[in-house]
Structure 1
Amino acid sequence: MKPENSEQSPLAEQLNQVFVRPSGRAIDEMRQVTFQTNIAPHANGSVLCSFGDTQVICAAMVEDRIPGWMRQQKVGGGWLTAEYSMLPYSTLTRKDRPISKGKQDGRNIEIQRLIGRSLRAVLDLKKFPDKTLWIDCDVLRADGGTRTASITGAWLATRIAINGLLEKGKLKEDPILDHLGAISAGVYNDRCVLDLDYPEDRDASVDANVVMTGSGKFVEIQSSGEEATYSRTQLDELLALSEKGIGELVEMQKSHL
């Protein structure tokens, strides 16, 4: 029998501690996700996508022309391109607009390229002839995961825009091949967790952003140690968490259509 006045060893105390995320969520629990459609009436399709306190307006607009390089190279079909920006009041301290500095923001460029190539992975642009689909993602409030919210919301905005073109007879075939979603995961306090908010993203030793199709295929995996290393087991766990989260996001997209 254990003596009443005995104390647990430090290791036993550590093992008995309950892991708690800053938000109180379970390790595989996402923040509340909402989609408010038709937020921008002049766009062909638009969504205010919220992952917890992260809010991004995603808008899709169609132009009846293609880029000059496509005409010059006689490339058939259409094109999709994306732009991403964080509004000055989206963060705790004011974020300068890139134009005020007279140069592009490297992070913005990297994210908008990610958004563009992710969406192009699930579109057959041959079925979108002589048109350009512009995707604009503007962050209203940043609390972690702005790129993953942008991709998830941009797909829904694209779906709405394409539906409109099909209904009006401006497209003969549906160019969208599959759903698309994205989510973050990371190692926080030595535990793999899903959908990092800002406190977790700031202190995570490993950060990952995963993009997948509705049928479960990977589009892109961005994963890096923040001055740290991680194991194959941890990577597998991060991917499993991401797959679960993206499956839930796809079901939410379907419920709005």
Structure 2
Amino acid sequence: MSDKPEKFIDENGIRLDGRRVDEIRPMTVEMGVLTRADGSCYLEWGNNKVLAAVYGPRELHPRRLQRPGEALVRYRYNMAAFSVEDRIRPGPSRRSTEISKVSGEAFEPVVMKQFYPSAVIDVFAEVLQADAGTRTAAINAATLALVDAGIPMKGLVAACAVGKVDGQLVLDLNKPEDNYGDADLPIAMTEDGDITLLQMDGNLTVEEVNKGIEMVREGCEQIFAIQKAALLERFGTAEEEEVLEDAELQAELMSEEEEVSEAAEEEDAVEESEDLEAAETEDPEDVEVEEAEAMFEEDVTEFEVNEEEAEEEAAEVNEEDIASEPEGEESTEEEGEKYEQ
């Protein structure tokens, strides 16, 4: 007990590792690390290092354990002898057996076992280095290993713990907080918020339990985001990347078009305002006079054109009359001679 800190949270709300009360430790994930397993995942969460592997679905032996209508999911949690400072006895223990049972049940609502009757799906979670929260870290790694193995699932499962130190609730306990804290509440839940695992060590009030569940829910949302990013990196294709790039390019083009249209609208608004200002500054009487003068000029021009056309037509008629006069005189002389006879 001599290494117990005097305070776990300072006056600024900062914990021993620099986190706030509602922050989780950094998490890194790598999938497909074991070639002989059907699915695998290596996860680091703070100082926790966990390796999960999935084998199956495959035939279950002995046959008396087979389930005719669904598959059997067997979950095995184990801590390596070298995972803690004081070497532990290798092999299963009462603690590891308990954690294996409750962790396996955490996947019951999501794994679609009806597709593999009489088969078995083995999930192995090996803790290589422990630093508090190993069961929740193993569940997060096992979820990705199941997806990597192609096991049909209704959704992902995420797990996180909340505890109480210095009379205050904190999310994702580290080792000193877990060893010397007042309570520990590990929880696993689906993306829909359904709780699939809940254990408690210590004493908490009903209000603290409800608040702790909400804090875990927020932490699991962050874990779901990390899991989905790992899945996209593992199974994302070049076509999906091209689709994402095209979507980003289309978004950029749409934003540029919006900027251009906004600029055009601003120019139109400026021109309309200038036209309105010019119309307001003009005198209505001057406008009427200018319109009347323009109409008068059009009428005068049209009258002059018509007058010129009339004069040309009259001149043509006179020329035709003059050209026909000699023929008229000869005809009158002939008519006179006939009269005298």
TM bracket (short chain): 0.7 to 0.9
Q: Which whole-Å CA distance do the structure 2 matches of 1:69 and 1:187 have between them?
A: 45
1:206 lines up with 2:183 in the alignment: yes
Separation in 1, partners of 2:116, 2:180: 43
Worse-superposed segment, 138-147 or 39-48: 39-48
Alignment correspondent of 1:238: 212
Tell me the CA shift for residue 123 of structure 1: 1.1
Instruction: Determine if the alignment matches structure 1 residue 92 to structure 2 residue 85.
Output: yes
| Correspondence 1:1-257 to 2 at 5 A | 17-67=11-61, 68-71=63-66, 75-98=68-91, 104-162=92-150, 175-225=152-202, 229-257=203-231
Q: What RMSD, in angstroms, separates the aligned Cα atoms of the two structures?
A: 1.6
Higher relative contact order (CA 8 A, sep 6+): 1
User: Hey, what's the Cα distance between the residues in 2 that align with 1:158 and 1:128?
Assistant: 14
Give how far 1:248 is off.
1.1
**DSSP-derived class of the 2:150 partner:** helix
Give the Å deviation of 1:187.
Answer: 0.4
Structure 2: distance between partners of 1:70 and 1:76: 12
Q: Distance in 2 between matches of 1:128 and 1:150?
A: 24
The answer on whether the counterparts of 2:54 and 2:124 sit within 8 Å (CA) in structure 1 is yes
Greater strand share, structure number = 1
Is residue 22–residue 200 contact of structure 1 (8 Å, CA) maintained in 2? no
- Provide Cα deviations, 1:26-80, integer angstroms capped at 9, x if missing partner: 1110000111111221111111111110011011011521353344xx6312111
Are the aligned partners of 1:70 and 1:76 in contact in 2 as well (CA < 8 Å)?
Answer: no
Secondary structure of the corresponding residue to residue 162 of structure 1: coil
Can you list the C-alpha shifts for 1:155-193, whole angstroms capped at 9, x where unaligned? 100011016xxxxxxxxxxx3111101111100111111
Answer yes or no: is the 8 Å Cα contact 2:75–2:101 preserved in 1: yes
Q: Hey, what's the Cα distance between the residues in 2 that align with 1:142 and 1:189?
A: 23
TM-score (norm 1): 0.82
Aligned length: 221
Q: Would you say the 8 A contact 1:30–1:245 is kept in 2?
A: yes
The structure carrying a bigger helix percent of its residues is 2
Any runs of at least 4 consecutive aligned residues in structure 1 with deviations exceeding 4 A, and if so which?
none
1:116 is aligned with what amino acid?
G
The structure number with the bigger radius of gyration is: 2
In structure 2, runs of 5+ residues without a counterpart are: 1-9, 232-341
Q: Partners in 1 of 2:181 and 2:115 — Cα distance?
A: 42
